[in-house]
Structure 1
Amino acid sequence: MHGRVARVAITERAREVLRRLIEQHGPVLFHQSGGCSPMCIGVREFRIGGTDVLLGRLPWHTEFWISGEQYEHWKNTHLTVDVVSGRGSGISLEASEGMRFIIRSRLLTDEETTVLAAGPPPRKGADRMD
């Protein structure tokens, strides 16, 4: 395996909801601070913490951030953003559509782990340049 390894992906159904949310609200980001439901929030509505880790980017330049503590628990895992019917956090933008984003996970393969270990560490919120 050569090149980049993504730590985060998105299902087609979740991608469609994400597109609608961006059309309605402008640029958004995901933040995972615990549990299985990441928050989807307007980029100007949320301040990334210094220890938060940039897990990856999804379509339309959508960043996926995870708290430093959660990253330590999930660092050997690939996360996939999915969406289901139901209401999650009232703060998360998809709640207005009667949906909630969830995380599906799998362990990284040995090859993925090797590629990630050979690269630079993931960016943290303290590294952000606004």
Structure 2
Amino acid sequence: MDVVPRVELTPAAADLVRRLRAAHGPLMFHQSGGCCDGSAPMCYPDGEFRTGNSDILLAELAVDGVGETVGFWMSRSQYQAWSHTRLIVDVVPGRGSGFSLEAPEGVRFLIRSRVVEADPPPGP
């Protein structure tokens, strides 16, 4: 049986992540439960956004063939609301938050989702 990934990147999002990593070094995503831009996945230099006990690491997203990954974090409370979905990180035209690394590119990351069977949250 194939394991359905909990989080994945579209080809366009993976391409943007590769470009951002070339410019900024290792990256991470964080998906909060906020409104407006707070509900969009935010891309930061790895470690710049401080995660804590209220966050869980949902996936290590592979973006190239050399084994480097980008962590995708989500607030635990947000995961409870989205536990039945596969999150698909896409990129669309338009300006998102000024704090996410893609903002100067004139695009923004966006979550698309598909319903899947629920898993327990990862981690402790």
Bin the TM-score by the shorter chain: 0.7 to 0.9
Query: What whole-Å deviation, never above 9, does each CA across 1:64-102 have from its counterpart, x for those lacking one?
Result: 000011011011110000000111110000001111000
Tell me which residue corresponds to 1:92: 100
Q: Are positions 1:69 and 2:77 aligned together?
A: yes
Opposite residue 113 of structure 2, the aligned amino acid is S
TM-score by length of 2: 0.85
Runs of 4+ in structure 1 over 6 Å off = none
Query: What whole-Å deviation, never above 9, does each CA across 1:33-72 have from its counterpart, x for those lacking one?
Result: 0254110001131111212011111123101000011011
Tell me which residue corresponds to 2:53: 50
- Computing the radius of gyration from Cα coordinates, the structure with the larger value is 1
Provide the C-alpha distance between the structure 1 equivalents of 2:92 and 2:45, rounded to a whole number of angstroms.
Answer: 20
**Matched residue count:** 115
**Structure with the largest fraction of strand:** 2
Opposite residue 55 of structure 1, the aligned amino acid is L
**Structure with the largest fraction of helix:** 1
Opposite residue 107 of structure 1, the aligned amino acid is V
Any unmatched runs of 5+ in structure 2? 63-67
Structure 1 vs Structure 2 CA RMSD:
1.6
**Aligned-pair identity (%):** 51
- The alpha-carbon deviation at position 5 of structure 1 amounts to 3.5
